[in-house]
Structure 1
């Protein structure tokens, strides 16, 4: 009877929670034995040893360590004491800690990124758009992105004198601060920047960062022990820090500026427990979702936690990145890892590639502020990562790594499954070439012509012609010998369908394999055709195809306004990480084309797939794009083609090497191999092109050998080659046309000036971050 009654009570509670709008979010991650998820319990036991050593050395009075792996807590333990004075109190796993600077990413940056996601804030916006008073003293151009990455020209900490007259006056004095350095020219970790970010949250939402983060982050995740200004019950189990005004701080913010601002600030003031933080960490590992509650979209988590070169360091948006702390954590964390620490002795690191997070919480400032835990927290992270049996490597793609045998279907395959219903009764113009084939090798032309109720009237072809074999400057109209249909060339007298060619058509269909690079002209042909379809009042349909070099990675400078051309159709980066269908959606909205657009999506394609993981047959998209290896190299190596270099056209391996009669390949290869580029090696070669640039001339050069596709960065490699050419051959290498494909004057000037690749990449990061936000709304997969 008791069990029956208990069931009734539980059932009613679930019904009531559903009536209130959502089911109860689980508050805690489940526990499991390490062995159950493939971790070595013996290795994890080393954590006890290193923490005990820390206690013996007075690094901190006590600590709580939590390790999460594959959605489970595999280690949770309390050590030492949470208070030594005025009396000793033992540490417990539910101890509440002052997060200090962990406030920055967990509360403030997450709040800002939610508002970015919702279109309320733009990363590239000046701070003065939201806080007009901040424009004083030359700060009018400091951006939200620069605050998130600590390069906004602000002093690390302004004087405590600025806070003596209360929060309102303190904020006025912060707005009036002078620049500490020129924004964007250096990295300087600053609390002031995050105080301002919290103020932006307040100006946009009407809520303090305390109110906003509680309502929109912590409550949805069921983090009932996380927030600012903890209540009396929580304060009772808070770790004591130091003395202030002759009292021990317990559940009271330690940071003096946050305290002066009433305990609520963007840089400090948050309190939490290890198990609550584990929920937040797991939500980020699960792409923004935990227990049915979504705090960020997957694309936003990626935007927030990816690598952003910032002058001389790598940052996330609000997060530290592993490159800054590699000496502490070694090689066992993946390059995707991100985390942060706090002055009071807190640390959290999250590794998406391994499904791992490590939380170390202490009150190292108790009782006298002399404790130190940085190296200790780093060692614990290394131990946790080392405990993973059969080490998980960062994935380079879905199907090949996981063993899944997904049958990826292209847009034409899906259309075929739909029995061509979207085209029934319509008169069709098809923009295609030899790449327009189904999974079983039948051409889209053949399939549409044979489809009942479908009226294929006209064909259009892009650069390289209908058969994809021409490498000439101009291609004339022609006739398809198999069907007798007229082929209008979109790479001849015109690059846009004419009103005459669209006469008597109801729809234009686009089916061409793109290569994932901005200056590959098939996407420009698509954009031009969309505009023509709009003018003619006809529909536009894209039969989508995979991005062959994956749909996750994007890189390189974003095309600057005013540089648009046929090899730079829209303001996207060199490597865009989108499919043709997704780009069509972006073009349609951002360029205000407003054509009646439909995308027939891929089926079973995952964004992290390279083309060889799709099971689709490779068809050379153009005469000099002969394999996937060349496609992977193309975004970076193709950039160099407008200079006085051969990129291998006229040889059997275009884009797999570069050279020129004046180039010393041995010297260049030596410097490139010393440059620290990941996933690639460089071999000096000699070759003689049979056609194209330097035809018949012996060229010294370098062959590119990709050793790890998951680590290789094509655009960075191309920029490093340009950098070394500028240093080694300043008189021989001609740079005057290099910006034609690069499409960004600031980046071009930096290359010519001989700046480091890190500094060159840093110039593009704000625009790349903004592109990531723009891109997210158009993604289909």
Structure 2
């Protein structure tokens, strides 16, 4: 049981001790050193303002490293196409304990919460979701979408709805009435709406909001003290800033977003949503990775049965993307068993059951403004970890 807990080496340990620790984990120290160098170079390329990388194998955290800045800019200058820097003394350095807006990594927690309810018999994976609709919503159309199709993004629902343009009271009705673009089960179409609908289903079968389900079912038993929706203001100096959110490049005019959820729809839902809204640290996410790689247990806490972990991670994955080489690089492996996800704000995690490895890369790629997606640094970091496996 104790072996499932993460182990680290003293950051002040000399190079010889660090090398021995990494070799005990079955990882090549030279490749891990190169991984750190790759991450250090990212702020200079303009890919992000700063980043935190954590990599390990088994219970060993072999790399935990921060680079760049958690907060550097006050705004984005569209005419000059550059960030407007804060006074130098106001910059916040990136630290290994920096808290990030996870964006779509939130979906993984929603998926875990759903599988927990399947274990309890409150939810059926292949049941039509219309069975869980709130009668107060009136006549809800049955499009034949199942819980499984929500979790595998095969419901046929479009990518998103501009829920931020509607009153909160209208959100649930809009989601239930949304008609699929394709026949459910016939094609893969990634959609935030899947996890937003799943959130409504979970609320119906448990009588509890999503933030309570995540707290009591995942983060509290696992000791993930730095993972939550709607972080308190006191956390702000430890949170990585995101975007100078303004129309026309964004969907709302909010100015610099720092300490509040970046996603516009999650913001319209008071920061708690099935597709986005959670904040966390690299270390906390490593605990989640270790839990799943250990069959649902971490220390004395079991949050899932081993069979339920299989549901989440076995191809094609429930909530998790599996064998996605475009951001997992060579860690996706010949067996294509690696599972993980990315987030719009610059977050990602990958865990590989074949090699018992995990990689968390958190970056503020939207600070000070969103830019075209570039997953090459994620894939390169994962490839470096894959090549480190001995």
* TM-score range relative to shorter protein: 0.7 to 0.9
Distance (Å, rounded) in 2 between the aligned partners of 1:26 and 1:241: 36
2:37 maps to which of 37, 49, 52: 49
How well do the aligned residues superpose, as a CA RMSD in angstroms?
A: 2.2
The residue aligned with 2:388 is 387
Give the aligned partner of residue 37 of structure 1: 25
2:159 is matched with which residue?
156
Aligned counterpart, 1:126? 128
Tell me the distance in 2 between the aligned counterparts of 1:255 and 1:28. Answer: 32
Number of residue equivalences: 355
Q: Pick the aligned partner of 1:117 from 98, 106, 119.
A: 119
Once the two structures are TM-superposed, the CA of residue 180 in structure 1 deviates from its matched residue by 1.6
Asked if 1:277 is matched to 2:279, the reply is no
Deviation at 1:52, TM superposition (A): 3.3
CA distance in 2 between counterparts of 1:186 and 1:297 reads 29
Distance 2:331 2:6 in 1: 27
Cα deviation, residue 155, structure 1: 1.1
- Alpha-carbon distance in structure 2 between the residues aligned to 1:188 and 1:95: 33
- Unpaired runs of 5+ residues, structure 2, are 10-20, 75-85, 246-252
Q: Is the Cα contact below 8 Å between 2:331 and 2:382 reproduced in 1?
A: no
In the alignment, the residues of structure 2 paired with residue 301 and residue 236 of structure 1 have an alpha-carbon distance, to the nearest angstrom, of 35
After superposition, residues 657-696 of structure 1 pair within 5 angstroms as none
Cα deviation for residue 246 of structure 1 reads: 4.7
- Look up the match of 1:328: 329
Match of 1:103 in 2: 106
Q: Distance in 1 between matches of 2:205 and 2:142?
A: 23
Equivalent residues of 1:26, 1:291 under 8 A apart: yes
Tell whether the 8 Å contact from 1:241 to 1:254 is kept in structure 2 after alignment.
Answer: yes
What does residue 258 of structure 1 align with?
Answer: 266
1:583-629 residue CA offsets vs partner (Å, 9 max, x unmatched): xxxxxxxxxxxxxxxxxxxxxxxxxxxxxxxxxxxxxxxxxxxxxxx
What is the 5 A alignment of 1:397-436? none
Gaps in structure 1 of 5+ consecutive residues: 1-24, 308-314, 390-781
Distance 1:99 1:330 in 2: 21
What residue number does 1:93 align with?
96
- Matched with 2:314 is 306
- Residue in 2 aligned with 1:68? 56
What is the distance in 1 between the residues matched to 2:285 and 2:335?
21
| Alignment partners' CA distance in 2, 1:332 and 1:305 | 14
Q: CA deviation at 1:322?
A: 0.8
Which residue of 275, 279, 294 corresponds with 1:267? 275
1 CA distance for matches of 2:258 and 2:62? 29
Deviation of the 1:82 alpha carbon: 0.9
Q: Structure 2 CA distance, aligned partners of 1:134 and 1:330? A: 47
The partner residue of 1:287 within 295, 302, 307 is 295
For residue 243 of structure 1, report the CA deviation from its aligned partner: 2.4
Map 1:517-666 to 2 at 5 A: none
**Equivalent pair of 1:333/1:385 in contact (CA under 8 Å):** no
> What secondary structure is seen at the aligned counterpart in 2 of 1:240?
coil
Distance in 2 (alpha carbons) for counterparts of 1:60 and 1:289 = 34
More helix by share: 2
CA distance in structure 1 between the partners assigned to 2:153 and 2:201 by the alignment: 16
CA contact (8 A) 2:5 2:298 kept: no
Higher relative contact order structure (alpha carbons within 8 Å, sequence separation ≥ 6)? 2
After superposition, the Cα gap between the structure-2 partners of 1:246 and 1:192, relative to the gap in structure 1 and judged at 3 Å, is: closer
Provide the residue aligned with 2:147 in structure 1.
144
CA–CA distance in structure 2, aligned partners of residues 330 and 68 of structure 1: 13
CA contact (8 A) 1:27 1:276 kept: no
Match of 1:343 in 2: 344
3-state SS of paired residue (1:68): strand
Aligned 1:485-496 pairs, distance under 5 A? none
| Per-residue deviation, residues 204-238 of structure 1 (Å, max 9, x unmatched) | 11111111110111000000100111122223211
Q: Residue 85 of structure 1: CA displacement?
A: 1.2
Q: Which moved more, 1:123-132 or 1:364-373?
A: 364-373
Between the aligned partners of 1:243 and 1:323, the Cα distance in structure 2 is: 30
> Could you tell me how far 1:99 is from its partner in structure 2?
0.6
Contact 1:60 1:371 in 2 (8 A): no
Q: Distance in 1 between matches of 2:22 and 2:31?
A: 10
Work out the CA distance in 1 between the residues paired with 2:238 and 2:373.
22
Contact 1:242 1:254 in 2 (8 A): yes
1:38 Cα offset (Å): 2.2
Q: Structure 1's 327 and 99: CA in aligned 2 closer, same or farther, altered over 3 A?
A: closer
Q: Which has the larger radius of gyration?
A: 1
SS at match of 1:45: helix
- CA displacement, residues 616-669 of structure 1 (integer Å, 9 cap, x when unaligned): xxxxxxxxxxxxxxxxxxxxxxxxxxxxxxxxxxxxxxxxxxxxxxxxxxxxxx
Corresponding residue for residue 434 of structure 1: none
Secondary structure, aligned partner of 1:230: coil
CA contact (8 A) 1:334 1:354 kept: no
Query: In 2, distance between residues paired with 1:238 and 1:195?
Result: 25
Q: 1:117 to 1:273 in 2, by over 3 A?
A: same
Return closer, same or farther for 1:153/1:35 CA change in 2, 3 Å cut-off.
same
Alpha-carbon deviation of 1:274?
0.4
Partners of 2:113 and 2:182 lie apart in 1 by 27
SS at match of 2:73: coil
Classify 1:327/1:180 alpha carbon distance in 2 versus 1 (closer, same or farther; 3 Å): same
Cα pair distance change 1:171/1:338, threshold 3 Å: same
Distance in 2 between residues matched to 1:155 and 1:174, nearest whole Å: 11
Structure 1 residues 273, 324: CA separation in 2 closer, same or farther (over 3 Å shift)?
same
Q: In the TM superposition, what is the alpha-carbon distance from 1:37 to its structure 2 partner?
A: 2.0
| 1:97-126 deviations in Å (ceiling 9; x for gaps) | 011111101x10000000001111000111
